[in-house]
Structure 1
Amino acid sequence: MSTFIQTLDHAWHTTNSLLCVGLDPEPSKFPGAYANRSDAIFDFCKKIVDATAPYASSFKPQIAYFAAHRAEEQLEQLIAHIHLKHPGLPVILDAKRGDIGSTAEQYAREAFDRYRADAVTVNPYMGFDSIEPYLEHEGKGVIVLCRTSNPGGSDLQFLETAGRPLYQTVARLAAEKWNAKGQLGLVVGATFPKEIEVVRSIVGDMPLLIPGIGAQGGDVEATVKAGRTAAGTGMLINSSRAILYAGKGDDWVEAAAQAAKDTRERINAFL
């Protein structure tokens, strides 16, 4: 069985894409035909996945958008659909979990045994023992929050620790102590390209999940130049709303596919 890192590396090369399509379904934004459908979230996301898969190297469902609508079973169906119909494209469950070890064990089971995700996002605020249970799941990826794309991230992530900002300490711990099994990646927002460059210099070729290029306004050129590895990969550049809701009419599926294609081409233009 291939590991998350191996699958991701293969996907980067076979798809010629660093695009990660975020799946943040909000039923109020769905086409009118989905009104009152019990399977609306699954079917909407399935159509997005099938339309954008030719242009993406990964998918990232955000668990809150499913759980808020009691659609956890639809999330299970969706991840199973991606694995069945688009094998080789890894699924990152965006859950941002962070709790003590015994609870983290249950969150890890949720992500990897229930949902069958290939990787999960986690919060490092409680230290390594809150991350370690995820690493016990062989071959699965664990993507640690480092420098997030939201403005308030600076409240904590720029606090000085041992003479450096906290986000740099997280990057160093991930690269030098926590990644013994080679399963880790880091979240670094596209809204802070200078910090992407700093993190890349610390962690080498570790994968970086980079949100923020779509609705949040991150600069694609600056992001790519700051985060790419020598091989021209190393990034999962995420776009969610700008793809999901690219079209407002009957051609919404085609519009999503075109938005994904255009985003991939914008990224590739700077590699």
Structure 2
Amino acid sequence: MTTPQLVQQIKAKKSFLCIGLDVDLTKIPTHLLELEDPVFEFNKCIIDATHDLCVAYKPNTAFYEAYGLKGWQSLEKTIKYINEKHPDIFTIADAKRGDIGNTSSMYAKAFLRDLNFDSVTVAPYMGKDSVEPFLAFENKHTIMLALTSNEGAFDFQTLNVGGQELYKQVLETSRTWKNSNNLMYVIGATKSEYFTEIRKIVPDSFLLVPGVGAQGGSLQEVCKYGMNKNVGLLINSSRGIIYASDKTNFAEKAREEALKMQQEMEIILKS
């Protein structure tokens, strides 16, 4: 998917919501556990109930890898279902990969070609040659960790290194890499006070923003400081939507929560 196509979806749906499909078998409705593939069936119901309210889905691969081969098959079925039923929706493999060049090439092939995700998250700690293999795929996007929403982000990301915070150096350096126009960045919603400075470095890039809702981030604050002329934001919500209910009406309740966020986003877009 190209960036203009993503922007068009945002305008059409009046939404920049990304729903995280992080499936924990201990949290899903118990009646699904009787089915052959409860993870996929849960995802399918969530997708059917919310696809018109969001512009992206983001499975965190850890929640599939934890169940071995069956989990990987569930992930494969999930991405195939989205691509076939809702090809307009942007898909994110939240895998946080990052390794030496030839290994990154295999990771990139796995997620961007074989599974056919639109994007994949990566960790930049090993530098250019660990990220550029992902950037080589045409009309695919690499979403690089920059300033995350967890408490431990302050251990390294905001350290002053040579007169500048490390996360700023990461942002600036990444712009010099080959095909850097395919880069997006993960910026935590709990760090809304940093968005103004971030936009000075990457004014046109899309930012994937976790941390709104359950982790305490403010949608209004993120939009105030982080939105650009093309919106430039994908606001992720996982637990707050997919686990709105553990009863048989879980999909209906998930839709209700997604609708609340979409309506709030629509108001922001109008203003």
TM range (shorter): over 0.9
Q: 2:238 aligns with which of 237, 240, 260?
A: 240
Aligned-partner SS, 2:93: strand
Alpha-carbon distance in structure 2 between the residues aligned to 1:201 and 1:128 = 22
**Aligned sequence identity (%):** 39
- The answer for the alignment partner of 1:51 in structure 2 is 49
Aligned-partner SS, 1:17: coil
Alpha-carbon distance in structure 2 between the residues aligned to 1:181 and 1:172 = 11
- The answer for the alignment partner of 1:189 in structure 2 is 188
State the shift of 1:113 in Å.
2.2
The normalised TM-score by structure 2 is 0.94
- The ranges of structure 1 where at least 4 consecutive aligned residues each deviate by more than 4 angstroms after the TM superposition are none
- The answer for the alignment partner of 1:78 in structure 2 is 78
State the shift of 1:88 in Å.
0.9
- The answer for the alignment partner of 1:266 in structure 2 is 264
Aligned-partner SS, 2:181: coil
Contact 2:14 2:265 in 1 (8 A): no
State the shift of 1:8 in Å.
1.6
- The answer for the alignment partner of 2:66 in structure 1 is 68
State the shift of 1:138 in Å.
1.4
- The answer for the alignment partner of 1:115 in structure 2 is 115
Alpha-carbon distance in structure 2 between the residues aligned to 1:62 and 1:124 = 18
Amino acid at match of 1:102: N
Alpha-carbon distance in structure 1 between the residues aligned to 2:36 and 2:66 = 14
Structure 2: runs of 5+ lacking an equivalent: none
The normalised TM-score by structure 1 is 0.94
Alpha-carbon distance in structure 1 between the residues aligned to 2:89 and 2:195 = 24
State the shift of 1:137 in Å.
1.4
- The answer for the alignment partner of 1:217 in structure 2 is 216
Contact 1:190 1:196 in 2 (8 A): no
Contact 1:224 1:267 in 2 (8 A): no
Alpha-carbon distance in structure 2 between the residues aligned to 1:167 and 1:8 = 26
State the shift of 1:170 in Å.
1.2
Single out whichever of 122-131 and 107-116 deviates more from structure 2: 107-116
- The answer for the alignment partner of 2:5 in structure 1 is 7
**Number of aligned positions between the proteins:** 267
Alpha-carbon distance in structure 1 between the residues aligned to 2:178 and 2:236 = 23
Contact 2:46 2:242 in 1 (8 A): yes
Q: Call closer, same or farther: CA 1:114–1:98 in 2, change over 3 Å.
A: same
Aligned-partner SS, 2:18: strand
- The answer for the alignment partner of 2:197 in structure 1 is 198
State the shift of 1:47 in Å.
0.8
Aligned-partner SS, 1:213: coil
Alpha-carbon distance in structure 2 between the residues aligned to 1:206 and 1:168 = 14
Aligned-partner SS, 1:151: coil
Amino acid at match of 1:188: I
Alpha-carbon distance in structure 2 between the residues aligned to 1:27 and 1:138 = 35
Equivalent positions of 1:130-141 (< 5 A) are 130-141=130-141
Amino acid at match of 1:66: Y
State the shift of 1:243 in Å.
0.3
Single out whichever of 119-128 and 104-113 deviates more from structure 2: 104-113
Alpha-carbon distance in structure 1 between the residues aligned to 2:121 and 2:4 = 18
Aligned-partner SS, 1:191: helix
Structure 1: runs of 5+ lacking an equivalent: none
Aligned-partner SS, 1:54: coil
- The answer for the alignment partner of 2:226 in structure 1 is 227
Single out whichever of 22-31 and 178-187 deviates more from structure 2: 178-187
Q: Please give the per-residue CA displacement for 1:33-54, whole angstroms capped at 9, x wherever unaligned.
A: 1124331001101110111111
Single out whichever of 25-34 and 141-150 deviates more from structure 2: 25-34
Aligned-partner SS, 2:172: helix
Alpha-carbon distance in structure 2 between the residues aligned to 1:162 and 1:235 = 30
Amino acid at match of 2:218: D
Alpha-carbon distance in structure 1 between the residues aligned to 2:36 and 2:225 = 43
Alpha-carbon distance in structure 2 between the residues aligned to 1:207 and 1:102 = 27
